[in-house]
Protein backbone atom coordinates (compact mmCIF):
# COMPACT_ATOMS: atom_id res chain seq x y z
CA UNK A 1 0.00 0.00 0.00
CA UNK A 2 2.91 2.41 0.63
CA UNK A 3 3.97 2.10 -2.99
CA UNK A 4 0.44 2.45 -4.37
CA UNK A 5 -0.32 5.58 -2.36
CA UNK A 6 3.07 7.10 -3.19
CA UNK A 7 2.68 6.33 -6.88
CA UNK A 8 -0.86 7.70 -6.83
CA UNK A 9 0.37 10.95 -5.30
CA UNK A 10 3.16 11.25 -7.89
CA UNK A 11 0.65 10.68 -10.68
CA UNK A 12 -1.82 13.18 -9.25
CA UNK A 13 -4.47 10.53 -8.62
CA UNK A 14 -4.64 11.15 -4.87
CA UNK A 15 -3.45 13.57 -2.20
CA UNK A 16 -1.64 11.28 0.19
CA UNK A 17 -0.71 12.48 3.65
CA UNK A 18 2.02 11.42 6.07
CA UNK A 19 0.49 10.28 9.35
CA UNK A 20 2.55 10.30 12.56
CA UNK A 21 2.06 7.97 15.52
CA UNK A 22 0.45 10.77 17.52
CA UNK A 23 -2.16 11.36 14.81
CA UNK A 24 -0.61 14.45 13.24
CA UNK A 25 -0.80 14.55 9.45
CA UNK A 26 0.93 16.54 6.76
CA UNK A 27 0.61 16.45 3.02
CA UNK A 28 3.16 14.36 1.16
CA UNK A 29 5.24 17.08 -0.57
CA UNK A 30 5.23 15.56 -4.05
CA UNK A 31 5.00 18.93 -5.81
CA UNK A 32 8.44 19.95 -4.58
CA UNK A 33 9.88 16.54 -5.41
CA UNK A 34 8.63 16.88 -8.99
CA UNK A 35 9.15 20.55 -9.84
CA UNK A 36 12.02 21.60 -7.58
CA UNK A 37 12.56 23.25 -4.22
CA UNK A 38 14.35 26.44 -3.15
CA UNK A 39 17.86 25.42 -2.15
CA UNK A 40 18.24 22.66 -4.75
CA UNK A 41 21.12 24.52 -6.37
CA UNK A 42 23.00 24.41 -3.06
CA UNK A 43 22.92 20.62 -3.33
CA UNK A 44 23.74 20.44 -7.00
CA UNK A 45 26.65 22.88 -6.76
CA UNK A 46 28.45 20.53 -4.33
CA UNK A 47 28.16 17.49 -6.60
CA UNK A 48 31.20 16.57 -8.69
CA UNK A 49 31.98 13.63 -10.93
CA UNK A 50 29.82 10.51 -11.16
CA UNK A 51 26.91 11.04 -8.74
CA UNK A 52 24.50 8.51 -7.23
CA UNK A 53 21.12 9.96 -6.19
CA UNK A 54 19.68 7.64 -3.52
CA UNK A 55 15.90 7.66 -3.25
CA UNK A 56 15.75 9.72 -6.43
CA UNK A 57 11.95 9.74 -6.63
CA UNK A 58 10.65 11.37 -9.83
CA UNK A 59 14.21 12.38 -10.67
CA UNK A 60 14.39 16.15 -10.61
CA UNK A 61 17.92 16.13 -9.14
CA UNK A 62 19.15 13.23 -11.25
CA UNK A 63 17.97 15.01 -14.40
CA UNK A 64 19.39 18.37 -13.25
CA UNK A 65 22.80 16.80 -12.67
CA UNK A 66 22.77 15.26 -16.14
CA UNK A 67 21.86 18.64 -17.60
CA UNK A 68 24.94 20.04 -15.87
CA UNK A 69 27.04 17.45 -17.67
CA UNK A 70 27.63 15.14 -14.70
CA UNK A 71 27.20 11.37 -15.01
CA UNK A 72 24.27 10.72 -12.68
CA UNK A 73 22.28 7.64 -11.68
CA UNK A 74 19.12 7.65 -9.61
CA UNK A 75 17.99 4.62 -7.63
CA UNK A 76 14.54 4.20 -6.14
CA UNK A 77 12.32 1.34 -4.97
CA UNK A 78 9.18 2.70 -6.65
CA UNK A 79 8.71 1.63 -10.28
CA UNK A 80 6.60 4.63 -11.27
CA UNK A 81 9.20 7.05 -9.88
CA UNK A 82 11.91 5.33 -11.91
CA UNK A 83 9.70 5.59 -15.01
CA UNK A 84 9.21 9.33 -14.36
CA UNK A 85 12.96 9.86 -14.14
CA UNK A 86 13.59 8.02 -17.37
CA UNK A 87 10.77 9.88 -19.13
CA UNK A 88 12.39 13.16 -18.09
CA UNK A 89 15.70 12.11 -19.61
CA UNK A 90 17.49 10.82 -16.51
CA UNK A 91 19.15 7.48 -15.89
CA UNK A 92 17.52 5.50 -13.08
CA UNK A 93 17.33 1.94 -11.77
CA UNK A 94 14.74 0.17 -9.65
CA UNK A 95 17.04 -0.64 -6.76
CA UNK A 96 17.21 -0.70 -2.96
CA UNK A 97 20.35 1.05 -1.70
CA UNK A 98 21.21 -2.01 0.41
CA UNK A 99 21.09 -4.30 -2.61
CA UNK A 100 23.71 -4.53 -5.35
CA UNK A 101 24.39 -1.04 -6.74
CA UNK A 102 26.46 -0.45 -9.88
CA UNK A 103 29.74 1.36 -9.28
CA UNK A 104 30.00 0.45 -5.60
CA UNK A 105 33.21 1.97 -4.22
CA UNK A 106 33.64 4.27 -7.22
CA UNK A 107 31.03 7.03 -6.82
CA UNK A 108 32.57 10.46 -6.42
CA UNK A 109 29.36 11.91 -4.97
CA UNK A 110 26.43 10.26 -3.22
CA UNK A 111 23.34 12.40 -2.74
CA UNK A 112 20.76 12.01 0.04
CA UNK A 113 18.22 14.80 -0.48
CA UNK A 114 14.64 15.45 0.65
CA UNK A 115 15.08 13.73 4.00
CA UNK A 116 16.33 10.47 2.50
CA UNK A 117 18.81 10.07 5.34
CA UNK A 118 15.72 8.62 7.00
CA UNK A 119 15.53 5.59 4.69
CA UNK A 120 15.12 2.46 6.79
CA UNK A 121 14.92 4.36 10.07
CA UNK A 122 18.62 3.74 10.80
CA UNK A 123 20.84 6.65 9.67
CA UNK A 124 24.05 5.00 10.90
CA UNK A 125 23.40 1.88 8.83
CA UNK A 126 22.50 3.99 5.79
CA UNK A 127 25.60 6.19 6.11
CA UNK A 128 27.78 3.10 6.56
CA UNK A 129 26.37 1.85 3.25
CA UNK A 130 27.06 5.26 1.70
CA UNK A 131 30.67 4.93 2.78
CA UNK A 132 30.85 1.61 0.92
CA UNK A 133 29.49 3.24 -2.23
CA UNK A 134 31.92 6.18 -2.22
CA UNK A 135 35.28 6.42 -3.92
CA UNK A 136 38.15 6.88 -1.46
CA UNK A 137 38.12 10.62 -2.21
CA UNK A 138 34.34 10.88 -2.61
CA UNK A 139 31.78 12.88 -0.70
CA UNK A 140 28.20 12.47 0.47
CA UNK A 141 25.88 15.46 0.25
CA UNK A 142 23.15 14.98 2.84
CA UNK A 143 20.05 17.01 3.60
CA UNK A 144 19.40 17.29 7.33
CA UNK A 145 16.22 17.78 9.30
CA UNK A 146 15.30 20.34 11.92
CA UNK A 147 15.53 17.79 14.73
CA UNK A 148 16.89 14.32 15.39
CA UNK A 149 14.30 11.58 15.83
CA UNK A 150 13.21 8.15 14.66
CA UNK A 151 9.49 7.43 14.45
CA UNK A 152 6.84 5.26 12.86
CA UNK A 153 4.92 6.78 9.95
CA UNK A 154 2.35 5.67 7.43
CA UNK A 155 0.70 7.14 4.35
CA UNK A 156 -3.01 7.94 4.29
CA UNK A 157 -5.48 8.93 1.59
CA UNK A 158 -8.92 9.15 3.13
CA UNK A 159 -9.80 5.67 4.33
CA UNK A 160 -6.84 4.03 2.61
CA UNK A 161 -3.74 3.64 4.81
CA UNK A 162 -0.38 1.98 4.35
CA UNK A 163 1.45 -0.19 6.83
CA UNK A 164 3.60 1.64 9.37
CA UNK A 165 7.27 2.14 8.50
CA UNK A 166 10.27 3.54 10.38
CA UNK A 167 11.75 6.87 9.29
CA UNK A 168 14.48 9.02 10.80
CA UNK A 169 15.56 12.61 10.78
CA UNK A 170 19.06 13.82 11.71
CA UNK A 171 19.51 17.43 12.76
CA UNK A 172 22.62 19.59 12.42
CA UNK A 173 23.44 18.99 16.09
CA UNK A 174 23.65 15.21 15.64
CA UNK A 175 25.17 14.66 12.20
CA UNK A 176 28.76 14.60 13.50
CA UNK A 177 28.04 11.76 15.96
CA UNK A 178 26.03 9.86 13.35
CA UNK A 179 28.71 10.27 10.69
CA UNK A 180 31.53 9.15 12.98
CA UNK A 181 29.56 6.06 13.96
CA UNK A 182 29.39 5.22 10.25
CA UNK A 183 33.11 5.78 9.68
CA UNK A 184 32.64 9.16 8.00
CA UNK A 185 33.46 12.72 8.99
CA UNK A 186 31.64 16.01 8.55
CA UNK A 187 33.58 18.29 6.24
CA UNK A 188 31.03 21.12 6.20
CA UNK A 189 27.47 22.07 7.12
CA UNK A 190 25.47 24.94 5.69
CA UNK A 191 21.95 26.27 5.30
CA UNK A 192 20.12 27.52 2.25
CA UNK A 193 16.45 28.47 1.80
CA UNK A 194 15.62 27.25 5.33
CA UNK A 195 17.13 23.83 4.56
CA UNK A 196 20.19 22.31 6.28
CA UNK A 197 22.88 20.31 4.48
CA UNK A 198 26.10 18.50 5.34
CA UNK A 199 29.04 17.30 3.30
CA UNK A 200 30.56 14.05 4.54
CA UNK A 201 33.79 12.35 3.50
CA UNK A 202 35.43 9.03 4.28
pLDDT of residue 84: 97
pLDDT of residue 43: 92
pLDDT of residue 27: 95
pLDDT of residue 191: 96
Residue 65: which H helix or E strand, with range?
Answer: helix 60-67
In whole angstroms, give the CA distance from residue 104 to residue 189: 25
Helix axes 79-87, 2-10, angle to 10 degrees: 30
Q: What is the pTM of this model?
A: 0.96
In whole angstroms, give the CA distance from residue 76 to residue 73: 10
Which domain, by its residues, includes 30?
Answer: 2-201
How confident is the model over 67-78, as pLDDT tens digits? 999 999 999 999
Closest among 28, 31, 81 to 54, alpha carbons compared: 81
pLDDT of residue 3: 87
- Domain containing residue 76: CATH number: 3.40.50.150
Counted domains in the chain: 1
pLDDT in single tens digits along all 202 residues of the chain? 678 999 999 999 999 999 999 999 999 999 999 999 999 999 999 999 999 999 999 999 999 999 999 999 999 999 999 999 999 999 999 999 999 999 999 999 999 999 999 999 999 999 999 999 999 999 999 999 999 999 999 999 988 999 999 999 999 999 999 999 999 999 999 999 999 999 999 9
pLDDT of residue 1: 61
Burial class of residue 21 in the structure, from the number of CB atoms within 10 Å of its CB (0-12 exposed, 13-18 middle, 19+ buried): exposed
Question: Hey, is 36 helix, strand or coil?
Answer: coil
Amino acid sequence: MIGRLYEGALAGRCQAEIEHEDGRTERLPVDGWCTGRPGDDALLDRCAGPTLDIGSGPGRLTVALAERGLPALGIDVTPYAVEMTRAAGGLALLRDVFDRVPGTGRWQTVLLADGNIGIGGDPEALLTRVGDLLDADGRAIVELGDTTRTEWLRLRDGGRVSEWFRWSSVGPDAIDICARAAGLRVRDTWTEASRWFAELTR
